[in-house]
Structure 1
């Protein structure tokens, strides 16, 4: 079993030295097995013209074996030197393809029906083999880059499996994550120009990337009606207390809010109205009801909760930063037009809405995201009897909104995003989570993502978190995450036939987000005009301060 075929020997394919045995199988254990490789043979292939063959036997490369009429493809996960001068490698089986009469591989599919036996020869995988493995089927797909280590094999993502079971794009700051997200969304938009995509953009990066094919919303034109908030979201905005006091304030708000909604003319069309019903009501009505309830009290001390609510309401109405939501003019029933505009119904060739929340006051940002996410989910539920219009919700900086810390503020947004992750696929809602800190995401949310696109992650906890969320067969690829270059990624899960390492395509300058890092060395050489810069900055700062 320690002997390997000679370079000109009868290997499984008989195609010369590049296709001769480089080792043998020594241990079979389900998805993870061991092979013994010939170090000298691997060394002789390192200068091979075929880049895939030259990579043979290295961590992250693929090898193949003959089992019956099939080729078995496996990924090399780890390597170590053995006492007899050979190399022992752990492998993960990826799938199998049919071996035709000439020894070529066709019809590759994920999964293994028959395993090899110890002593079975191990051969290098050629670029031609990889072409068969990664050949895109007729299913709708997008091409995002080139499969490593080849120069021309295209990496494809299958759109339906990727979106129906959610996806996550992960990567440390500076790895090209924002540009890669823009690339994926541009390709999806090109494939489906009548699609429906809503993206939450917390830093205002993506407006520049999608101004040609999307609708852009910010605090100046979002016009998010305050009455769309449900009771929990009202509480997060209006209540300022904690503990027992908060519960008392919440009870009072529930009573007054229900009265205000019921007083609305729109409420007359519907039988039962609750505090959560998205029924338009006047802020002046809510204010009047609070004052009226306060006037019924016998003791002055009992009026404190009412005064707190009234003061907070007055503060929101008076503060221009909140005018995008709490404008007194927004009392007409604009729900239908708001949903049509936000969800791109119809899309008219502009399938993506970029919602820039960078200008939203920080204390209500999570509430705004909560409302937008809940609108997506509730629309999907209540439109089940209609012609289906699936919606993709993409959430940048997802760890802000679904944090691991359950005591953090903003529980409304956490609940709705967790619910979409668990139940969204039943109703045609897809979730795309983008984060640089997957270890800070709530437990289980990442594991709900059927496809994970991971760029370089520098933090050990983040790497461990991604590894735990992925199937065992992808481990060899995931071990390469710390070594990825910028604009490179590992893709695992439902959206690909097998795990792949991909170099992202370059994106045209006009389609890139405004996220490039400043050059300190270059910009620190520039001088002049500082006085005007400061004056204009202070003016904007004072006029729109958050």
Structure 2
């Protein structure tokens, strides 16, 4: 067994490669670029290489930006094995002393070795590994073009691959949507604009698509005026009878513990009676308390009073009275008019589904559901109903022509929180179920959050594609690190250092993990999420009285 080459031999060999201009910046021909090191150890994902510090320094002035980046964390290197170039990503670096740098690498894929040292037909995964002592070469921009050349599969372009100026970063639509995706990023990193860009690109590619977006802040209405339908408390008209029993409980029950269970039993009995009252039950088949059958709120109220009248002792009537009082409160409060209006008793389920899911879409494939005007006590219930409608429709339409649905949930950590004891259990259950089972039924989930560490365990790991913008919090970074595949670990160190509107993309939606600078989005397609300039706004004055009076009027009229 031969000894590994000594560092002196290694440096002598490196120095034998002469630059054509003697400046350390090699000529444009790839054959003239010398190796930068050798393979030291092969151990699957924990493979290591040696690199020469002086050689890396010389290449930093190379005219090819990809070559100039050689040896940095997150950059790529290549090794020739037989007739294939293996591409690896540098995960970590440390000094080895005596002018040598030790790097840990992850193998990403391989391409065919073409003439002039070039590469063609890149594909993810490697079929064979190099042996220790194999030369390590820098990756050129031409190699990057081969790596990121978009296949013929349906894809969208979202930006430019770092560190190049013209290589396009693409997302493959089917792998990204079929296995869910997540967009992560701290506040102020350009997350909303980037999400709008991705959805605009998908809409342009699939103008007959079916996308439902839950918008908790009313940001996205401005971005999708031209290609979407906008819903808010004024026009949503969400029928109360679409709520299942668990959602009814979240809206109507005010007690806890054993009292809550007693109230729930009474509500179940009375709600089923209201759903079946005056109906030909046989036409529906088996009816349950969860069945989305229209019923009158007055019927439910009368049934509660009737059941209360059958009781002997006054103390036994308390839970009935509680439920009736809550029901009366919901009917009387104008904030709940979009849901508990007496006008919503007609069987509008078909038209509601057609309108919300864009069936057909008529070139406007996105429904933006602005829940910012929904009372905070029922926001999670409204989101639960919408998400469950998406999932249930997909289940019950399996025998029909496929119409896959994409549900995008902004501020996802609100609805699928880590804390299992927090409110909104119905929305948590349905979103977790979509994350686990949605792809079987043609339901895709897009989660957007600034706090991935506050998301329920396992939900992020169900997302096959992760688009991470800058994350400043250590816990959030650790959470993303755990969810990202092995080959992307080298990119993770760049997450705290990403610029605004820059991201790391890894997983099913890309050929290999990439760092991308998002394209600029036209002003009319951007969400209303830009931060105000304090310095500029505080210089302006005038019309304060008018501003206040108009604001108070809107405030009192809840946006009317």
TM-score (norm 1): 0.98
Give yes or no for the alignment of 1:513 onto 2:530. no
Identify the residue that residue 455 of structure 2 maps to in structure 1: 441
How has the CA–CA distance of structure 1 residues 264 and 393 changed in structure 2, closer, same or farther, with 3 Å as cutoff? farther
Aligned match of 2:71: 57
Provide the rounded CA distance (Å) in 1 between the counterparts of 2:554 and 2:490. 51
Q: Deviations over 1:106-164 (max 9, x none)?
A: 11011111111111111110000000000000000000000000000000000000000
Q: 1:362 aligns with which of 350, 367, 376?
A: 376
CA contact 2:281–2:287 (8 Å) conserved in 1: yes
1:23 aligns with 2:37: yes
Q: Is 1:347 aligned to residue 361 of structure 2?
A: yes
> 1:237 — aligned with what?
251
Q: Point out where structure 2 has 5 or more consecutive residues left out of the alignment.
A: 20-26
Q: Which residue of 2 aligns with 1:282?
A: 296
Q: How many corresponding residue pairs?
A: 545
| In 2, Cα distance between equivalents of 1:523 and 1:357 | 28
Give the C-alpha shift of residue 103 in structure 1. 2.2
Residues 1:37 and 2:51 aligned together: yes
Deviation per CA, 1:342-363: give whole Å up to 9, x if none.
Answer: 0000010000000000000000
Matches within 5 A, 1:124-523: 124-265=138-279, 267=281, 269-523=283-537
CA distance in 2, matches of 1:158, 1:391: 17
Q: How much has 1:425 moved relative to structure 2?
A: 0.2
CA contact (8 A) 1:266 1:280 kept: no
Kept in 2: contact 1:261–1:267 (CA 8 A): no
Q: Is this contact kept in 2: 1:267–1:279, CA < 8 A?
A: no
* Shift of residue 84, structure 1, vs aligned partner: 2.2
1:47 maps onto 2:47 in alignment: no
Partner of residue 542 from structure 2, selected from 504, 528, 533 = 528
Report the Cα offset of residue 525 of structure 1.
Answer: 1.0
Shift of 1:293: 0.5
Q: SS of the residue aligned with 1:200?
A: strand
Deviates more, 1:86-95 or 1:383-392: 86-95
RMSD: 1.6
Q: Could you say what secondary structure the match of 2:152 adopts?
A: coil
- Asked if the contact 2:30/2:117 (under 8 Å) is kept, the reply is no
On the 8 A contact 1:216/1:353 being kept in 2, the answer is yes
CA gap of 1:479–1:193, structure 2 versus 1, over 3 A, is same
Q: Answer yes or no: is the 8 Å Cα contact 1:260–1:285 preserved in 2.
A: yes
Cα 1:323/1:110, change in 2 over 3 Å: same
Give the direction of change, closer, same or farther, for the CA distance of 1:59–1:156 in structure 2 (3 Å limit): same
**Deviation of 1:460 (Å):** 0.3
Q: CA deviation at 1:10?
A: 9.9
Q: For each residue in 1:37-86, what CA deviation from the matched residue of structure 2 results, as whole angstroms up to 9, or x when unmatched?
A: 11111111111111101000011111101011100101111111112221
Q: Provide the rounded CA distance (Å) in 2 between the counterparts of 1:156 and 1:250.
A: 50
- Aligned to 1:297, what secondary structure does the other structure show? coil
Pairwise CA distance, 1:190: 0.4
Change (3 A) 1:157 1:16: closer
**C-alpha deviation, 1:173, in angstroms:** 0.2
In structure 1, the partner of 2:23 is none
Q: CA deviation at 1:15?
A: 4.8
Give CA deviations for 1:80-109 in whole Å, capped at 9, x if unaligned: 111222111111111110102432101101
Q: Once the two structures are superposed, what CA deviation does each residue of 1:233-266 show, in whole Å capped at 9, x if it has no partner? A: 0000000000000000000000000000001537
Is contact 1:18–1:45 with CA below 8 Å preserved after alignment? no
1:369–1:223 CA distance, 2 compared to 1 (3 A): same
- Stretch moving more, 24-33 or 265-274: 265-274
Q: Distance in 2 between matches of 1:80 and 1:264?
A: 77
Q: Which moved more, 1:20-29 or 1:182-191?
A: 20-29
Q: String of CA shifts for 1:288-314, please: whole Å, max 9, x gaps.
A: 000100111101111110110000000
| Distance of 2:193 and 2:32 partners within structure 1 | 38
Cα distance per residue 1:292-344 (max 9 Å; x no partner): 00111101111110110000000010000000000011110000000000000
Equivalent-residue separation in structure 2 for 1:286 and 1:215 (angstroms): 33
Q: CA deviation at 1:458?
A: 0.2
Distance in 1 (alpha carbons) for counterparts of 2:185 and 2:142: 31
Q: 1:89 corresponds to which residue?
A: 103
For residue 94 of structure 2, give the secondary structure of its aligned residue in structure 1. strand
Change (3 A) 1:14 1:187: closer
Native 8 Å contact 1:18 1:53 kept in 2: no
